[in-house]
Amino acid sequence: MYIIDEIIDDLSFELSSKAAVPEADPTDVIFFDIETTGLSPSRSGLYLVGCMFVDGKNTVLRQFFADDHEDEKKVLVAFSEVLSGKGHMVHFNGSTFDIPYLKTKYEQHSLKDPFSGKKSCDIYRKLMPLKKRFSLKSMKQKALEEFLGIFREDIYTGGELISVYKAYQKAVLLERAGGVQGNTLAIGEMRNALLLHNSDDIKGMLPVAQLLGIVSFVKGDFEVCEPYFEDGAIRIGIEPHKKLSSRFFEGKGPFKFIACDEAGSLSIKVPLIKDSLRLFMKDFREHYYIPSKDMAVHADVAAFISPHDKKRATPATCYVPCRGEFLTVNEEDLPEGMPLIKRDYGEKIAFVRKQDISPEVLKAAVMYRLNFIDQHSKII
């Protein structure tokens, strides 16, 4: 059995741990992923367990690699020893595959179940609400990484690596038997490919886990700061309740329209729309619509207008023109008591006059942009 250690960025691990398990100390959290030669534990083998955790002063990515089938039990024992010191497990779809698979393997080898009493966080299951919100075609880990602008060096899928591991096993056996000369390089390359895929899976879990903080963020779990006006727009400061990694606001990430300065402070530039819109009034039964003026007037005024030039107002025609500069918001987020200003009555988008801007309006304006991000990071 091979044991491979790699030191990992502590801050990234801390942010991911807090996003996945807010109530836990990062030193009590372990991320893990397994590699097998099939889906059924009774008809396949476990050849690699990778895990990431705090070990003393360092955050370590540790991999237990089985050189052959006889190493399977050694891998299980080694992982169990690490797991015994942690109370919280984090994984990607491990509730469906990794944990049931490992439990069966521990039972096959007459080993104690190491998962008893552990708390579990399945990132995959917790992130499912993002699929609809961001119109994601896939919830596979690689797809979520690419959604964040992260692209791997590893070119294989777990399934494709099964044949690589079987070729590796055969080459190791032949080398041990002395039947093949000069095959050490090929063996090392195959082992590195197997290790890289597992390493990328675990490292990729860190930014993907931080998406859990995004789930609450896009639901409005933030405060807005004092705004300032610039170039026909308004710059709004944002303070998330949960700390978010700056990687979400850089490069090709889905939130690149949100600025993140060197201190980690977030802000968004929202355009002020100059337009002539319609201010809708609720008491339509007390108004008449005047087609020639494209506006509604109160019944007291309509009394002086010819019956041929007026119509009883409806909710859709009870409005007056409203010109000015506006912020765009979702109608459902419009603060109570705020005038209803829209282009057309049936639209779900509302507008707020510049003079009516308040902290509640600013938050609604940010929510409007968060709610219209698609997988290509565009704003409608």
pLDDT at 380: 31
pLDDT at 180: 54
pLDDT at 372: 64
pLDDT at 376: 38
How many CA atoms, within 13 angstroms, populate the side-chain half-sphere of residue 222? 28
pLDDT at 254: 67
pTM over 0.85: no
In the DSSP assignment, the letter for residue 17 is H
What is the distance between the alpha carbons of residues 210 and 238, in angstroms, rounded to a whole number? 18
Q: Fill in the amino acid letter for 315.
A: P
What is the distance between the alpha carbons of residues 379 and 347, in angstroms, rounded to a whole number? 17
pLDDT at 9: 85
Among residues 208, 264, 275, which one has the least CA distance to residue 240? 264
pLDDT at 378: 39
Q: What is the pLDDT along the chain (380 residues), one digit of tens a residue?
A: 999 999 998 888 998 999 999 999 999 999 999 999 999 999 999 999 999 999 999 999 999 999 988 999 999 999 999 999 999 999 999 999 999 999 999 999 999 999 999 999 999 999 998 888 777 889 999 999 988 888 887 777 888 899 999 999 988 888 877 755 556 768 899 999 999 999 999 999 999 998 888 888 888 899 999 899 988 899 999 999 887 877 777 766 667 788 888 888 899 999 999 999 999 999 999 999 999 999 999 999 999 999 999 999 999 999 999 999 999 999 999 999 999 999 999 999 999 999 999 999 999 999 998 876 543 343 33
What is the distance between the alpha carbons of residues 335 and 117, in angstroms, rounded to a whole number? 46
pLDDT at 374: 41
Q: Fill in the amino acid letter for 133.
A: R
Question: Where do the CATH 3.30.420.10 domains begin and end in the chain?
Answer: 2-217
CA dihedral 263, 21, 122, 134 (to 10 degrees): -40
Among residues 243, 220, 262, 240, which one has the least CA distance to residue 17? 243
CATH of 2-217, one of 3.90.1150.10, 3.30.420.10, 3.20.20.70, 1.20.1530.20: 3.30.420.10
* Helices 72-83 and 98-108, packing angle to 10 deg: 120
Q: Nearest 5°: phi and psi at 340?
A: -90, 105
